[in-house]
């Protein structure tokens, strides 16, 4: 089938890979002018890691990734008040775990299809008309085209979801936080292979050293309003007097406007909850259908797993998209809903409300190093999902 995919992120590129591998003709539409690598770091494990192994990408992902050794919570003067050895996670899930910039993960997948799949950059879908036997798409720049299926893999603020299912407000559930991330050059100090975090009530800032003398910085803060306006001013208001390295981190990100992959990322922390992920010949995957939020930490892995399952179910259904879409959703919805529930519980870690809460959080970080307590956190990181083997 001819299948249009909106979005060249992790979900879109992974789906294009599996659709091409199973005999379909995918076309990826991306509003950015070029493929974006880099971005904020995500932890990669679980069912998504297993799928990446089936794609033969494990070594490339590990080469691009970082084997973070510790998470350090620091006080305003910089001294460490709590440390978590990341071997805690490896005791739970094994060695199949790494941390990698989100865009670099997508780029690794994209490298496997770059010569085989049509990519349309700098354009967006403006209209979707499902005629029953095919779907007609109109674009901002290109002329109309016909496809057999349309897949929205275009993230939290999905354009396809808006066009087919309705406005964002019907499906996005704001969790009361906002997030900003940026990669800066030459920042000092550096702590290699460590995730360094500093928190005051209601907000947290973190940094992690990257290759080529770059540093990723991540800001998370509570905000009652989901409105986004003047990100620089919002960050300054919240963090300028927060202590630790906040003033110099704010100085380091000044002037980043988000127009490139290394620019300022600023967004709400939200989840997407929908009664159905498909309508007719249109289906949503990844964050577009069931965003668990940045707090869940596993969205990229889930996106890769979803791409594999969707392609596999289309193959099993012999091209019967209705049956494939129904089976796909039935398999994945329980997993996504569990991950969304777990992510909500982690809100207190990223933006603890009170000073007592911060004290308790640091105590919990230290306690997690104890082997006898490790299994208490197993449910939050292990994937309770039987990944099918589609023989592809």
d(CA 143, CA 137): 9
Neighbouring CB atoms inside 10 A of 80's CB total 14
Return the DSSP state at 66. B
Identify the pLDDT of residue 24.
97
Tens of pLDDT, residue by residue over 203-223, are 999 999 999 999 999 999 999
pLDDT digits (tens, 9 = 90+) for 82-96: 999 988 878 777 788
- What is the pLDDT, as a whole number, of residue 367? 85
Q: What is the DSSP string of 275-336?
A: S-SEETTEEE-THHHH---GGGS-HHHHHHHHHHHHHHHHHHTTT-HHHHHHHHHHHHHHHH
The secondary element (H helix, E strand) that includes residue 117 is none
pLDDT confidence of residue 260 = 39
As given in the structure block, the two tokens for residue 254 are: 């000044």
User: Which residue do the tokens 């297993």 mark?
Assistant: 50
Task: Report pTM.
Answer: 0.92
Q: What gap in Å lies between CA 309 and CA 318, rounded to an integer?
A: 14
* Per-residue burial over 171-206, b = 16 or more CB atoms within 10 Å of its CB, e = otherwise: bbebbbbbbbbbbbeebeeebeebbbbbbbebbbbb
The predicted structure's pLDDT at residue 213:
95
Task: Give the tokens for residue 51.
Answer: 């799928």
pLDDT at 259: 39
- 357 contact partners, CB below 8 Å, separation of at least 6: 201, 348
Contact 281, 306 (CB under 8 A): no
- Domains in the chain, ordered, with CATH? 2-65+101-172+271-348 (3.50.50.60)
Spans of the chain, pLDDT less than 70: 256-262, 297, 371-382
Q: What is the DSSP letter of 168?
A: G
Per-residue b or e along 49-76, where b marks 16 or more CB atoms closer than 10 Å to that residue's CB: bbbbeebebbebbeebbbebebbbbbee
């Amino acid at each position: 089938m001819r299948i249009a995919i909106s979005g060249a992120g992790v979900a879109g590129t992974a789906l294009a890979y599996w659709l091409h591998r199973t005999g379909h003709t995918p076309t990826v539409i991306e509003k950015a002018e070029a493929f974006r690598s880099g971005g904020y770091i995500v932890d990669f494990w679980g069912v998504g890691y297993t799928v990446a192994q089936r794609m033969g990408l494990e070594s490339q992902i590990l080469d691009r990734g970082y084997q973070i050794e510790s998470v350090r919570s620091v006080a305003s003067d910089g001294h460490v008040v709590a440390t978590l050895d990341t071997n805690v996670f490896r005791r739970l899930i094994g060695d199949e775990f790494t941390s990698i910039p989100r865009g670099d993960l997508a780029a690794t997948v994209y490298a496997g299809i770059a010569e085989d799949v049509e990519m349309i950059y700098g354009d967006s879908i403006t209209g979707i008309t499902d005629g029953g036997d095919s779907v007609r798409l109109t674009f901002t720049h290109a002329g109309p085209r016909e496809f057999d299926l349309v897949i929205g893999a275009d993230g939290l603020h999905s354009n396809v979801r808006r066009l087919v299912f309705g406005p964002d407000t019907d499906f996005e559930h704001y969790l009361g936080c906002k997030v900003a991330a940026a990669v800066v050059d030459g920042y000092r100090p550096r702590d290699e292979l460590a995730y360094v975090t500093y928190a005051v009530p209601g907000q947290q800032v973190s940094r992690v050293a990257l290759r080529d003398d770059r540093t990723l910085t991540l800001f998370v803060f509570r905000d009652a309003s989901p409105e986004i306006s003047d990100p620089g001013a919002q960050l300054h208001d919240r963090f300028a007097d927060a202590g630790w390295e906040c003033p110099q981190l704010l100085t380091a990100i000044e002037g980043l406007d988000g127009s490139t992959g290394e620019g300022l990322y600023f967004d709400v922390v939200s989840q997407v909850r929908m009664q159905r992920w498909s309508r007719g010949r249109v289906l949503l995957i990844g964050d577009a259908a069931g965003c668990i939020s940045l707090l869940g930490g596993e969205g990229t892995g889930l996106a890769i797993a979803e791409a594999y399952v969707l392609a596999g179910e289309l193959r099993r259904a012999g091209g019967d998209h209705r049956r494939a879409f129904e089976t796909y959703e039935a398999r994945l919805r329980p997993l996504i809903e569990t991950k969304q529930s777990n992510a909500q519980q982690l809100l207190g870690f990223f933006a603890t409300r009170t000073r007592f809460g911060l004290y308790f959080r640091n105590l919990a970080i230290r306690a997690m190093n104890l082997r006898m307590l490790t299994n208490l956190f197993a449910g939050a990181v292990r994937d309770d999902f039987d990944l099918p083997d589609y023989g592809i």
